[in-house]
Structure 1
Amino acid sequence: MRADALRNREKILAAAKEIFAVRGPEVPMDDIARRAAVGVATLYRRFPDRETLIRAVAQDTFARVLEHFRAAVAEEAGAWDALVRMLRSSQELQLSVQLALHSPLARETLRDDPGTGRFRNELLGVLDQVVRAAQEEGTLRTDIGAGDVAVLISLLLRRTPGPTDGTDTTALERATDLMLDGLRARPDVAPLSGSALSVEDFESRAKGNL
């Protein structure tokens, strides 16, 4: 791909990610072209239809989240610190969750996409690794599984209407603090009802919503 074509592709992906995160992937393609400062014809040369663009945005987003997750595992002193860092990388994570779970159009588009599925499986694998390690070091409660954490993330980060003055970000940070407090191991913690959810359980539930 020529340098100018590559730049246009990156601009379109960046614009689409920004708009998808706020308005969802059903946004008019013309709005994405305007945000990217490219012509509509240029957008369609790079991405011939909305589904192609959704797949490209999803794969790029999951790849970036996976990079964040792996960096947290490699750079943090302990598994709990890695988990906290992973859960606080909310911007890319929010879009990946929205695309994977909460947009009907995206769910249908990504249902059988092997590239997106590969990234999602790798993300869940890293999460499972960190959850088990944090439980072994005694910092994470032992009556949960990585599937429970994945469910919490998907509920916490699903897109909801909110103010544009920054208070929605503060609310997300507070909710993340509450979630982490509930996940931390303590001797006086009340046991949860039911069985811990594994990654496989989470995947099964997610597929049931497709």
Structure 2
Amino acid sequence: MRADAERSRRRILDAACEVFLERGPDAPLDAVVRRAGVGPGTLYRRFPDRTALVRALVTDLLGRLAEAAGRARTAEPDPYRALRRFAHAAADLRMGAAIVVLLERLVVDADLVAARARAVAEVEALLRAAQDAGQLRRDVGMGDLVLLCVRVSRPLPGGLAALDADGTLVHRHLDLALAGLRPGGGGGDGAGEGGAAPLSFEQVIEAAGRPGEPGATGMAE
């Protein structure tokens, strides 16, 4: 793909992520066009309909999620610091929140399944390393981490958004939440005994489902 075409594609996907987060998966595509600063023809040549755009966006987000996890593991030899670095990168990109918002509009293809498998493998490697080092409670699963990032990174409603105008409040709350995932952080004994079972990413996808697709149970299939 030529550099200018890739830049246009990147602008469209970034704009779509912002618009869908703000206005939901049924937001008008004209809003995506305006946010991206491209013509309607540019969008529709690359993504002929909403289904294609949503599928491409989720595939892209999963790829970026995997890359963020890989970079964190390479940059930080300490397992907990690597996990924290990844969680903050994911919050900045609002990846998890966007994926959850778009699940009901998602039609799965082979590229998306492959992107999801890579993302799950990368993030679970971070979790296992932190748990094996005794730096993360055993009752924390990837689903717990993803939903934590979703809850923290969703835009605040109405006037409350002014409290996080510079984006720092998201990271403060994320650090507070991550501290509770460390052994001795509260809510469990660090070994998963007596607490809830870890929540997997498969369970999150299964719970979200895919309305409109008979017999479908989510991205896990």
**Aligned pair 1:115/2:116, yes or no?**
no
Tell me the residue number matched to 2:174. 176
2:25 maps to amino acid: P
TM-score (norm 1): 0.80
Contact 1:100–1:110 (8 Å) recurs in 2: no
Greater fraction helix:
1
Shift of 1:83: 0.4
Aligned length: 203
State the distance in 2 between where 1:76 and 1:181 align: 18
Structure 2 segments unaligned to the other structure (5+ residues): 210-221
1:154 paired with 2:160, answer no
Distance 1:37 1:150 in 2: 31
Which residue identity is paired with 1:183? L
Distance 1:167 1:88, change over 3 A: same
Q: Helix, strand or coil: the match of 1:140?
A: coil
Moved more, 13-22 or 160-169: 160-169
Q: Return the letter of the residue paired with 1:185.
A: P
Per the TM alignment, residue 8 of structure 1 is displaced from its structure 2 partner at its CA by 3.1
Shift of 1:3: 5.6
What's the Cα RMSD here? 2.7
1:130 to 115, 126, 129: 126
Over the matched positions of the two proteins, sequence identity in percent amounts to 36
Q: For residues 111 and 198 of structure 1, what CA distance do their matches in structure 2 show?
A: 24
2:9 is the alignment partner of 1:9: yes
Corresponding residue for residue 214 of structure 2: none
The residue number in structure 1 matching 2:212 is none
After superposition, the C-alpha distances for 1:137-180 in whole angstroms (9 at most, x for unaligned) are 12212343334333433333345525443526333222211111
Task: Give the alignment's TM-score, normalised by structure 2.
Answer: 0.77
2:116 is equivalent to residue 97 of structure 1: no
